[in-house]
Chains A and B, each alone.
Chain A
Amino acid sequence: MESKSILAVLKKNVMLIVLVLVFVLFVILTHGGFFSANTFTDLVQNNAYVFILGTGMLMCMLTGGNIDLSCGSTVCMFGALGAFFMSTNKGTLELPIHVLDLGVPLSILMMLAIGFAYGSLLGFLIAYVRIPPWIATLTFFLAFRGLGTALLNWANSDTKSIAYLPESFLQIFYKGVLFPTEGFNWPCLVIGLLAAGAVVFLLFFSRKKRIEKGYSVEPMYMTYLKAGLGAAGIILLMSQLAMDKGLPAPLLWVVGIILIYYFITSKTTIGRHFYVVGSNMEAARLSGVNTRRIMFLAYLNMAILTTLATMINMARFQTAMSNAGLNYEMDAIAACVVGGVSASGGAGTIIGMVIGATLIGVINLGMIAVKLDQHFQYIVKGFVLLAAVVFDILSKKKQK
């Protein structure tokens, strides 16, 4: 019995194991070079968009396997708009650059307002006009790439991009570090230790509570395993970050988003409604769930998270370009699918998505580290996705 349950545990956490294996593989391929503080900083700074868009995509997919193809193009379009609002570089008399220089707070507010408006429009089209989501978002996938490029071409006919974003904006969304220090960043390690301690405490505390209340609990070694792995992962990440610069701003954004959505999906009525709408829309409707509102909210939410991802992306490149956000939608979808989110809706967790997004991030970075060509990178990502889905289907078959 024991060996069987261990097998079941392995099966359930296979993506976590794959993640570790892939990481080790890259470390070996780079003769240890991949295991560096730099990699960890990169992972959380340059792949923050996968986590944020992945969260939004998760909410869409929960409602019935619906996806948003437009988010990558939206990153380009909103980035161009945002740079147009806030850039301080007006060019020269001979070569004028059309920018507004509105200041950071107003620019952020306007971007959020536009994100809200776009999300409302998309949600309205999908939930109330009932355009199939992939068609509705495909139109914006095309239109926004074109619009963004046109805006950039018009604003700066020379470089066809807008640079010189205000320093404070860059600090908030990318460059900033929590508690900066010279040399080794002690505050970062302390926060890591505290977080690891909190995870261990919460795991054992909730287990104890469940036993007291007479609920079913997982075997004790599972709790030890989870606590051990969770704490080790957090301490590893944070100590490596501490060796580099410290806690970077994108990580704070990502952790904030993940915590909020973990709470929404697992503890609130609205989160429950997302799951039931995706599992059986008709049963949900006949139970008094406003199914159209849920669909609307999924896409409104996606647009707002996309706006946030846009800001981080702008700050990362310090420039708005016409190829910004290229294929981001695919990374977000891949993160969800690899993370075990059901392609037909109703099942999937934030934690799974985080593991999926980390795997995508590690693959992204690792392939750059081993200097794989761009086209090979696509091939590898494609097969990872296929393997994830095939594995998912096979493991479900076995259960029956």
Chain B
Amino acid sequence: MGKILLEMRNITKTFPGVKALDNVNLQVEEGEIHALVGENGAGKSTLMNVLSGIYPHGTYEGEIVYDGEVCKFSKIKDSERKGIVIIHQELALVPEMTIGENMFLGNEQGHKFAINWNKTYAEADKYLKMVGLTESSKEQIKTIGTGKQQLVEIAKALAKKARLLILDEPTSSLNEEDSRALLDLMLSFKKQGMTMIIITHKLNEVSYVADKITVIRDGATIETIDNHGTEPVSEERIIKGMVGREITNRFPKRTHVVPGDVKMAVRHWTVRHPLYPERKVVDDVSVYVRAGEVIGIYGLMGAGRTELAMSIFGQSYGVGFSGELELDGKPIRMRKSVADAIKHKIAYVTEDRKGNGLILSKSITVNTTLANLGAVSSHTVIDGDKEFAAAEKYRGKLQIKTPSVEQLVGNLSGGNQQKVLLAKWMFAEPDILLLDEPTRGIDVGAKYEIYCIINDLAAAGKSIVMISSELPEVLNMSDRVYVMNEGKIIDEVKASEASQESIMAAIIRSGRGA
């Protein structure tokens, strides 16, 4: 057993009315990758905030022992001076500034009143090389993709002389390729002796990189699993710890109904980028979906899936449209209007629930009825009783956990927010639901519930288009799968006949062909 670098002993943190952490213990050995897993709201982020000094010493109980001494951090700078650096889930980069400026933001090189730009960029380039980026540090952040931005964040952490690096969901916005590259980078850092803590929902990543796995549930440490055995720890084993029960089947079985007639068909659909009209984001795409059918659209990030869905939804994305849209076998000329799409009974459930899906500062009631306010009002006057009843109905139907529908959506957990988003669109009574990453960033239990809702909708004869970058999800939930790459549909397979390998192979083949 190696030297213990960090030990958090009996950490208890209470917020007014809630015990967020209850006697949590965490031991991290020097030079290991330690994974922290748990459902949303289990207390992972709170624990890391205690460690980094965001919650200063004195606001929690317990001890932090780092490198043999008891630490009492009162602000982030204190922990960073010791080499504890957190990379948060939301990237903290300024898009308009250069990579170099961003890397030394708040840590500027040179004298107090004169930044030494030569030193800044030379240092920045050095660290960029360490994370495998070949870009010049004088490029603007906004010109590089999300995957590379994540690497810049890591380079920024290295520049702070990190000894213990904490990565909070580093791959949540990356595609599989970039994710894999990031995990490999972590493994190479480990070889050089760096200690890391990774927080993630993706359990396959955990078993790939982690030496030890600590499971947190309801603010308490459940167990620490060693991942050094001959067999990697199975995902089912980790899930059991996370939810406290065995989930034998992560995907609910659908009583297979025979799909009905073709409900919606899109032919030769082409959409151009709003800023660079010469670029076709969606290129000559033809897809269809039947009533009572779930189709999956799988592709890597940037494949044009979201853009396809949004352009069908009242042309809410893109310019220079061409192609035909048919509903119930009749061609539809839809105006550039979301209201028009809703009238044609199409709903688009966004992948970005906090950004453009929900209104976090308003109540569940307001959010539920927003897309179909007419249904609870007469002559444009809202009927408060009807509205309340509608919100209550969907709270019960989707089992949204909240003390009251007057609760602000921003106070709900991710899974419950996703349910409110679904409730909003179910209340609009669509026939076709375009679900964009319906289970992103929510925990295993909530995912299962969302899957059940999707199955219920399909059983009720709705047409579901599910966009996802999680292959197991696509394969287990859909009837048919379209594979999308670089704006084109490159493959269409029956889900029962496809495998993860065959779909990935198709993407790689098309990439080579292009």
A positions within 8 Å CB-CB of B: 213, 215-216, 267-270, 272, 275-276, 279-280, 282-290, 346-347
Would you list 29 pairs from A and B whose C-beta atoms are within 8 A, ordered by A residue?
A213-B385, A213-B388, A215-B388, A267-B381, A267-B384, A268-B380, A268-B381, A269-B381, A272-B373, A275-B366, A276-B362, A276-B366, A279-B361, A279-B362, A280-B358, A280-B360, A283-B356, A283-B370, A284-B370, A285-B338, A286-B348, A286-B357, A287-B371, A287-B424, A288-B314, A289-B338, A289-B339, A290-B337, A290-B339
C-alpha spacing A161/B380, complex, angstroms: 45
Q: Shortest distance in angstroms between B385's beta carbon and chain A's nearest beta carbon? A: 6
A-B pair number, CB within 8 angstroms: 77
Q: Is B47 an interface residue (CB 8 A)?
A: no
Q: Shortest distance in angstroms between B316's beta carbon and chain A's nearest beta carbon? A: 6
Q: A216-B404, A280-B356, A280-B359 are in contact. Are A287 and B381 (CB under 8 A)?
A: no
Which residues on the B side are within 8 Å of A269 (C-beta)?
Answer: 373-374, 377, 380-382
What would 10 more interface pairs be, CB under 8 Å, given A268-B377, A276-B370?
Answer: A275-B366, A280-B359, A282-B356, A283-B359, A283-B370, A286-B356, A287-B370, A289-B370, A290-B339, A346-B361
Q: Is B406 an interface residue (CB 8 A)?
A: yes
Q: Shortest distance in angstroms between A205's beta carbon and chain B's nearest beta carbon? A: 14
Chain B 172-194 interface residues, beta-carbon cutoff 8 Å to A: none
C-alpha spacing A270/B380, complex, angstroms: 7
Counting chain B CB atoms within 10 Å of each CB, which of A280, A282, A289 scores highest?
A280
Q: A268-B382, A272-B373, A272-B382 are in contact. Are A283 and B338 (CB under 8 A)?
A: no
Nearest chain A residue, comparing its CB with the CB of B356: A282
Q: Shortest distance in angstroms between A260's beta carbon and chain B's nearest beta carbon? A: 13
Say yes or no: B371 contacts A288, CB within 8 Å. Answer: yes
Say yes or no: A286 contacts B350, CB within 8 Å. Answer: yes
Nearest chain A residue, comparing its CB with the CB of B424: A287
Say yes or no: B358 contacts A216, CB within 8 Å. Answer: no
Q: Is B244 an interface residue (CB 8 A)?
A: no
Q: Is B513 an interface residue (CB 8 A)?
A: no
Q: Is B355 an interface residue (CB 8 A)?
A: yes
C-alpha spacing A270/B424, complex, angstroms: 18
C-alpha spacing A380/B337, complex, angstroms: 49
Which residues on the B side are within 8 Å of A283 (C-beta)?
Answer: 355-359, 370
Which residues on the B side are within 8 Å of A290 (C-beta)?
Answer: 337, 339
Q: Shortest distance in angstroms between B403's beta carbon and chain A's nearest beta carbon? A: 9
The 9 closest A-B pairs by CB, nearest first: A282-B356, A288-B339, A287-B371, A279-B359, A288-B338, A288-B342, A287-B370, A280-B359, A269-B373
Which residues on the A side are within 8 Å of B316 (C-beta)?
Answer: 285-286
Q: Shortest distance in angstroms between B427's beta carbon and chain A's nearest beta carbon? A: 11
Nearest chain A residue, comparing its CB with the CB of B341: A288
Q: A347 contacts which of B361, B374, B385 (Cβ < 8 Å)?
A: B361
C-alpha spacing A276/B404, complex, angstroms: 20
C-alpha spacing A283/B425, complex, angstroms: 12
Counting chain B CB atoms within 10 Å of each CB, which of A270, A272, A279, A283 scores highest?
A283
Which residues on the A side are within 8 Å of B424 (C-beta)?
Answer: 287
